[in-house]
Amino acid sequence: MPDVMSTLPGLVARVTRHPADEITADSRFSGLGRWGSLVAVRLLANIEQTYGVRLDLRDYLKIGTVGELADEISRHLAARATPAG
């Protein structure tokens, strides 16, 4: 499984215009300059296209930090990699 935190800051930077090298697992979305619901929807689309996952919007909207988002994406990638049963 790829390390999501190596690529996710680049996507967050793409939509927020916050420098990628300043985005860490502890970065809170609400503290990233242009954050808002439209930016959140754009980020979701970028994530789903990049990682090939589909997130539950309710869970996604509750996420506060970049690290939590990386964990959520990783969980989906792991679930996809391990067939049920």
Partner 1 sequence: MTGPTSSGPTPSGPAPTDDLLERVDALLRSPEATDPDLGDQLARAEDPLLLCEAGILLENVTAARVSRTAPRRTTPLRIAVAATFTADGVAPLLRTALLASGLDAEIHLCPYGRLDDQLTDPASALAAFRPEVTLCLRDSGSLLPADWDPSDLDAVRDVLLEQVAATGMAAAGFAERTGSAVLLHTVPLPRPDRDSVIGYRSRAALGRIWREANTLLLRAGEEHAGVYAFDLEAALADAPGPLRDERRYRFGRMAWTPHVELVCAREAAAFARGVTGLGRKVLVLDLDNTLWGGVVGDDGPAGIELGTLYPGDCYTDLQRRALALRRQGVLLAVCSKNDAGLVNQVLADHPDMVLRPDDFVAVLADWQPKDTRIAALAEELSLGLDAFTFADDSAFECGLVRGSLPQVDVVHLEGDPAGHSSKILDPARFAQLGTTVTDTERTTLYRKRRARHRFGATQGSVEEYLSGLGIQVLVGAADEFTLPRLVQLELRTSQFNMTGAAHGEALTRRMAGSADHAVLTVEVTDRFGAEGVVGGVWLDRGPERWTVRNMVLSCRVLSRGVERAVLQYVADRAAAEGATLLEADYTPTERNGPAASLYPDAGLSRREQDPDGTLHYLARLDELMPLTPDWIALAPKETLDHA
Q: CB-wise, 24 or 49, nearer to partner 1?
A: 49
User: What residue type is assigned to position 6 of the chain?
Assistant: S
Would you count residue 15 as binding partner 1 (CB under 8 A)? yes
Q: How far is the CB of 19 from partner 1 (least distance, A)?
A: 11
65 has which bridge partners? 28
Count residues near partner 1 (CB under 8 A).
Answer: 12
Helix axes 4-16, 66-81, angle to 10 degrees: 130
Tell which one of 25, 41, 63, 77 touches partner 1 (CB under 8 A): 41
Collapsed DSSP state (helix, strand, coil) of residue 64: coil
Rule CB under 8 A: say whether 14 interacts with partner 1: yes
How many Å is the Cα radius of gyration of the chain?
12
Binding site for partner 1 (CB under 8 A): 10, 14-15, 37-38, 41-42, 45-46, 49, 57, 61
